[in-house]
A and B are shown apart, each in its own frame.
Chain A
Amino acid sequence: MVLFMVMQQENLKSLLLALLLVAPGFSHAGDAGKGLSVFEEECGDCHAAKAGKNKKGPSLFGVVGRKAGTIADFGKYSDAMKNSGITWSRDKLDAYITHPKEVVSGGKMKYDGLAKASDRGDLLEFLAAQR
């Protein structure tokens, strides 16, 4: 009986997890290969994924886990970004890519946001691999 209840709880957890994964706005585990394509479509004009290569925006090499506004030789951060206190966890990046202006009000990045959760998941998987 106890085993049955434990199994029911596990099933419930799985069900809840599955619902969360398909819920709009949730960043699911992505595909890094597709993420490269999303990166080229959405980010590549202004950012490189190569270490030390800053373009209009800073390099996104090693961005996951990095403190915001800290690439030493990129001199174009906004004060808002430098003072945000953000460390780019996956969740924080996901929120930022969804609505940049809501996460860093006063930031310079001219980007309206990426609405599709699966695209963001793929992109984050690609960015996480850039280290």
Chain B
Amino acid sequence: MFQTITSLRCLATLAGGIGLWALQTLPAQAVPSFSRQTGQECATCHIGSFGPQLTPYGMKFKLEGYTESNGKGPLVPLSGMLVASSTHTSKDQSGDAGPHAGPNDNTVIQEVSGFLAGRLTDHLGSFTQVTYSGIERKVALDNLDLRFTQNLKLGDTETLVGVTLNNNPTVQDPFNTQPAWRFPYMGSELAPGPAAAPLLNGGLGQQVLGASLYGLWNDSIYAELGAYGGSSYDTLKAFNITKAIRLDGLSPYARIGYFKDLRKQAFGGGLVAMQSALKQDGTSRTDKYQDIGLDGWYQWLGNRQHIFTLHGSYLHEDQTRDASYDLGAAENRKGKLDRLDLGGSYHFDQSYGVTLGYFNINGDSDGGLYAPEPDSGSLNGSPNSNGWTVQADWTRFGKENSWGAPWANVRLGLQYTAYGKFNGASRDYDGSGRDASDNNTLFGFLWTAF
């Protein structure tokens, strides 16, 4: 019986606090096949000459379905990527940081990815990523975003319409304010992360398949409407993905945004919404999640010598946890969870960058969902966490006259995350004597793409 309760609690923690997993599987997009296809240097589409932070040009390239070409691109748009990293936390973790890692100071080949990324036909493009995880030591399908697009005229106004088929809500989003492509763009997979995150914050990534119809009117108003369904056990197994959640029916997804490209500067903002229901074994009822978010961003681009950006997003989630409550994994049927992200960056000469980000997770306490457990649990049942991340990076190549362009692409980065509160408290947050600051993380990485 104790084992059953424990496993249900683990399941609920997984469903309700999938943010930890999301944080540990940060996507990484930097794809030189796009550059080979278009003749554009990486810096045209990416702030700091390296993915995934997009310039307005990059946003439009994505919305156009990765199909833009100078007519000389490769027939099969293939790319590769390798990330090596080193992680140090202020205090050793109580157990090993990963299945093949020690409790601290781990240096690993974090991931090796292959991409089918670029134009397949005049109107069809792909961003498909298969990744070998050096943490789990297995190969699996990572991100999938297939697009079909068409340029139309509505009256005298140019309008782009498209369809995206993807496996991670917000991976299709062109702005760097939504969870899939938000700062930090690279992070440690071997450091503790907060237990709680709204479901839209990566909780469905790779577990679902969705399609949405989108339009960009007059290069300024963006709207998208679609739905996601759960992938079957057999489908996920075919792509070497472990099934972690069961979606009940279809989950509608909607996004609306405005952006303005003034060439020397650009700005935008919008709303996102999604509704999901998750099934659990042992009950016919479901856990329901309603997410709604607000975001905004600004970029000063100038002559590209000094680039400043600001970005912010707020995501609110209402949870109705009938299944978890029935199964004893949650103490309360209803709860809410909010996440705020703010940040800004400066890049000099498209090569040297510094980015500062702040996050705040705030929600209703629940001793069932957020139970005491060494390192990852909460003594007071609170999901509240906050902290800062600062990153300095250097990107040697990726400019118009760079050596080896567009094949040679390297970013070196050093990142530090400091927690003010972790899973509900600053001191002894897990009931095992661990403080929030014990999870402060120094993370160095070498990120290369070819």
Which positions in A face B, CB cutoff 8 Å?
A: 36-38, 40-42, 44-45, 48, 50, 53-56, 74-76, 110
Contacts and interface: CB of A to CB of B under 8 A. Distances in A.
Interface string B66-104: 001011000000000000000000000000000000000
A55 B39 contact: yes
A75 B73 CA distance: 12
Name the residue among A38, A44, A54, A76 with the largest chain B CB count within 10 angstroms: A44
B70 A48 contact: no
B317 to A, nearest CB: 38
Given A55-B39, A56-B40, A44 B304 contact: yes
Contacts of B44: 45, 55
A98 to B, nearest CB: 15
B304 A54 contact: no
Given A41-B302, A45-B44, A75-B71, A56 B400 contact: no
5 contacts: A38-B303, A50-B400, A55-B44, A56-B40, A76-B70
Given A56-B39, A56-B40, A56-B68, A45 B303 contact: no
A22 B217 CA distance: 37
Nearest to A40: B303
Interface in B170-225: 219
Give 8 nearest A-B pairs by CB, closest first: A40-B303, A37-B303, A75-B71, A55-B39, A45-B57, A41-B303, A41-B264, A45-B44
Contacts of A75: 71
Contact of A55 (B70, B219, B263): B70
A53 B39 contact: yes
B321 to A, nearest CB: 48
B38 interface: yes
A53 B400 contact: yes
B303 A55 contact: no
Contacts, number: 42
B302 A55 contact: no
Contact of B263 (A41, A48, A50): A41
Contacts of A44: 304, 400
A76 B303 CA distance: 26
Contacts of B401: 50
Nearest to A36: B303
Question: Which residue of B39, B40, B264 has the most chain A CB atoms within 10 A of its CB atom?
Answer: B39
- In this complex, the member of A41, A45, A74, A75 whose beta carbon has the largest number of chain B beta carbons within 10 angstroms is A45
A50 B303 CA distance: 17
A42 B263 contact: yes
Contact of A56 (B38, B264, B305): B38
Given A42-B263, A44-B304, A76 B71 contact: yes
A44 B40 CA distance: 10
A44 B400 CA distance: 10
A56 B70 contact: yes
Contacts of A55: 38-40, 44, 70
Contact of A48 (B302, B303, B304, B400): B400
Contacts of B40: 45, 55-56
A66 B303 CA distance: 26
Given A38-B303, A56-B68, 4 more contacts: A37-B303, A55-B44, A56-B38, A56-B70
